[in-house]
Structure 1
Amino acid sequence: MKNDFSRCCSSLIPSRKTARFYLLCLLIALYMLAGAAIFSSLERPAELKAHQLWERRLRDFSHEHNISCEDLKSLLRYYEEARTAGIRADRGRALWDIPGAFYFTGTVVSTIGFGVTAPSTVTGKVLLVFYGLLGCSATILFFNLFLERVITLLSFLIFWCHRGRPGHSGLEGRTGEENRNEEWKPSVYQVTLILFFAVLLVACGAAFLYSTMEGWTYMESLYFCFVAFSTVGFGDFVSGQREHHEDTWAYQVANCLLMLLGVCCTYSLFNTISVIIKQGLNWMLTTLAWM
């Protein structure tokens, strides 16, 4: 009877992988709740203040030009519909010429999705589903291969550093070859540190370019780099959308290359950080089991 009861209890205990999954879900939920509380306390007062300012400006404009608020709101609704087609109050660059469409496809396959450009035709929306499915899959594969190349390059550099040590001879036999190969492989902490500095270097250089070409402050440019490179893509800042940018081909090419390099490095950094988080979850499970 005791054996049956113990077997029943042991079957109810989740495996280590399942427990790690549940623990990660719990931590992510708590992380999101904490973030929601912090951002709500920071941004909600500004949102209410912006609503009050907008209502006051709307009333002042309607009184000044003798227009009813309903007619003015109706015009604004038409303008909101026009924004989907790329219409702006200040004229910007063309959105659906070849360079503009190429910029759009880049935001699709990289999963950035700024939201400035979106297909308005039914055919374009249907095509985007299948185009994005294949394009995003191929791009994620490209990011993974990029991370493999980074690890291979670091292994090569560590190998040459070991060979350059005084008193280090060549291969000393087949028995120690596997140990040396493991020794030459970089740790996840080394890869994370190098990728972090790579992302920081690319972001700082790109922020200098964007602050010069877009008229943003340097902090706004750094903020845009993180939002774009992490593929969050809020759309509050978007590069290369001004009218005169159509004539600056060098800036358009540099913008695309910086986006590609920044997303590759940041995606690889996210991968290595996720490995460290996984190690932390294993340590937490081991500690809980010991307790």
Structure 2
Amino acid sequence: MKKVFFCCCPSLSPSRETASFYLLSVLIALYMLAGAAIFSSLERPAELKAHQLWETRLRDFSHEHNISCEELKSLLRHYEEARTAGIRTKQGRALWDIPGAFYFVGTVVSTIGFGVTAPSTVTGKVLLVFYGLLGCSATILFFNLFLERVITLLSLLIFWCHRRTGHSGLEGRASDVNKNEEWKPSVYQVTLILFVVVLLVACGAASLYSTMEGWTYMESLYFCFVAFSTVGFGDFVSGQREHHENTWAYQVANCLLMLLGVCCTYSLFNTISVIIKQGLNWMLRTMACINCQRCSLQGCKVG
């Protein structure tokens, strides 16, 4: 339903959906600016300290081994290029065997994109464009179908719990049946259940990753959020150690946890977006009421 806001100029006022879009754009921009300020204040000092430490180590190494800094930096640039092909100072598992390539395409179609593995050939880069176009589209469809089934299952579960907690007396049965037919689960209830499910999956996965990868539990939880939300920074990547080539059970568990975590987190994001939209509509109604009251006061003064 579209309603007209701003009673002073109804012909120029936008529809509710358009107003929600503009308001959300402004709020996202403000949210990003606030996040940039916070993370800059937290991370910028560490970045400057790391730069100073690196320059000191570079000068010391150059002086100790009688190598010019330019030659050393040239070697490091070549190494940065070699990292794309999977070259590491510490030996890890093969990146482009069948299991490694399967892990790579999984990060592509799920849009995680850790960045640890990337095609280095021109043919591979061109193929990736078309492969990702179809694969990402199909995966988004899969996520949407998964979301529909999760919402249906949770709605039935909540409805069953609602009926179980209802009155069972003979006098109130007719009214209870009518209430149950009209009753629908709240988006807040569904969001809460999804949040608990995502939390349980993340905590269980973090226990596995902290054991297999040697990370702390907090690092494992951080990795779970980055991976399940498909942000995929690449600072932590699971299953890349050399001894993981022979742990097939862990590789399978890792893929299943990734799939389950991404699906559940995608569903949670969708329900949260519904709540955000409800908040935007409330803000717009509040602004419209304030504006109408102001117009009424102005009309009274003119009269």
TM-score scaled by structure 1? 0.91
Matching residue's letter, 1:118: A
> What is the distance in 1 between the residues matched to 2:117 and 2:150?
33
Report what 2:48 is aligned to. Answer: 48
Q: Over residues 13-43 of structure 1, what are the superposed CA-to-partner deviations in whole Å (9 max), with x where a residue is unaligned?
A: 1111111100000000000000000000000
Q: Is the 8 A contact 2:92 2:240 kept in 1?
A: yes
Report what 2:80 is aligned to. Answer: 80
Q: Closer, same or farther in 2 for the Cα pair 1:178/1:80, shift >3 Å? A: farther
Matching residue's letter, 2:89: A
> What is the distance in 2 between the residues matched to 1:235 and 1:100?
15
- Matching of residue 167 in structure 1 with residue 168 in structure 2: yes
Q: Is the 8 A contact 2:104 2:117 kept in 1?
A: yes
Report what 1:111 is aligned to. Answer: 111
Report what 2:3 is aligned to. Answer: none
User: Where does the alignment leave 5 or more consecutive residues of structure 2 unmatched?
Assistant: 1-5, 291-303
Report what 1:134 is aligned to. Answer: 134
Matching residue's letter, 2:54: W
- Matching of residue 242 in structure 1 with residue 237 in structure 2: no
Q: CA deviation at 1:209?
A: 0.7
Report what 1:90 is aligned to. Answer: 90
Report what 1:3 is aligned to. Answer: none
Q: CA deviation at 1:156?
A: 2.4
TM-score scaled by structure 2? 0.88
Q: CA deviation at 1:199?
A: 0.7
Q: Which SS does the other structure have where 2:119 is aligned?
A: coil
Percent identity, please: 86
Q: CA deviation at 1:103?
A: 0.2
Report what 1:223 is aligned to. Answer: 222
Q: Is the 8 A contact 1:210 1:239 kept in 2?
A: yes
1:182-221 aligned at under 5 Å gives the runs 182-183=182-183, 185-221=184-220
Q: CA deviation at 1:77?
A: 0.6
> What is the distance in 2 between the residues matched to 1:285 and 1:7?
13
Matching residue's letter, 1:212: T
Q: Closer, same or farther in 2 for the Cα pair 1:13/1:110, shift >3 Å? A: same
> What is the distance in 2 between the residues matched to 1:90 and 1:130?
33
Matching residue's letter, 1:40: S
Q: Over residues 165-195 of structure 1, what are the superposed CA-to-partner deviations in whole Å (9 max), with x where a residue is unaligned?
A: 56379xx99xx98964442x42111110001
Q: Closer, same or farther in 2 for the Cα pair 1:127/1:178, shift >3 Å? A: farther
Q: Which SS does the other structure have where 2:116 is aligned?
A: coil
> What is the distance in 1 between the residues matched to 2:38 and 2:54?
25
Matching residue's letter, 2:278: Q
Q: Closer, same or farther in 2 for the Cα pair 1:155/1:8, shift >3 Å? A: closer
> What is the distance in 2 between the residues matched to 1:156 and 1:59?
66
Q: Is the 8 A contact 2:159 2:185 kept in 1?
A: no
Q: Which SS does the other structure have where 1:11 is aligned?
A: coil
> What is the distance in 2 between the residues matched to 1:156 and 1:168?
23
Q: Closer, same or farther in 2 for the Cα pair 1:105/1:168, shift >3 Å? A: farther
Q: CA deviation at 1:59?
A: 0.5
Q: Closer, same or farther in 2 for the Cα pair 1:178/1:136, shift >3 Å? A: farther
Matching residue's letter, 1:250: A
> What is the distance in 1 between the residues matched to 2:144 and 2:7?
42
Q: Closer, same or farther in 2 for the Cα pair 1:158/1:195, shift >3 Å? A: closer
